[in-house]
Amino acid sequence: MNMRGFRYMTLAVVLAGTLGTLAWSQGVSALKGRTVVPKDADIDSSASISSLLAKKGQNDWSQAKGAMLEGYILQVEKDPDGDVVVFLAANAGETSTTKWVIAEVPPAWQKMNAALSEKSVRSLLGKHVKVTGWLFYDASDQADPRGTRWEVHPVTQIDILN
């Protein structure tokens, strides 16, 4: 292959990779940006904090399913993209991040439901709650201290249990 052919081949590979990344990014945005509440038939009843931590492979759960996770809100942060990030654990006061599951409330859901606003969610710190929303696998390659990349994103409802 001459140099010109090599350049075209390299360009084709780079473009294919870029288009693949763009398609993946758009797919991720669509999943994170869902605006419908999961119906009862959409909920994977076997999903829990402990089961997400035990079966944490990318193919162990379906992103087409919703979940209702019961646990304690240990920490609340706000991402630069506006998402309210909720750190959940099965036990109150859990300090090991490897036993935490993340649930995220995007800005659209914060606007649609005042109970999901940053202020409202922060008021639930330490509370025993049920978080409802869609299962999402965060495949980003950033260093991550949590126990699973499976999360609830977007969160569509948070209920106080007791």
pLDDT of residue 139: 87
User: Any residues with CB less than 8 A from the CB of 68 and at least 6 apart, and which?
Assistant: 43, 47, 130, 131, 132
Cα gap 72→128, rounded to integer Å: 5
> 16: helix, coil or strand?
helix
Q: Exposure of 20 by Cβ count < 10 A (0-12 exposed, 13-18 middle, 19+ buried)?
A: exposed
Average pLDDT of the residues in 126-147:
89
Residues 9, 2: contact at Cβ < 8 Å?
A: no
DSSP 127: -
pLDDT tens-digit readout, 16-74: 444 444 343 445 667 777 878 999 999 999 999 999 999 999 999 999 999 999 999 99
Torsions phi, psi of 91, nearest 5? Answer: -115, 140
Lowest mean pLDDT among 75-79, 114-118, 120-124, 138-142: 138-142
Q: Which CATH number, 1.10.3720.10, 2.60.120.20, 3.40.190.10, 2.40.50.810, labels domain 40-160?
A: 2.40.50.810
Every domain of the chain and the residues it spans: 1-32, 40-160
Query: Per the omega criterion (within 30 degrees of 0), is the bond before 38 cis?
Result: no
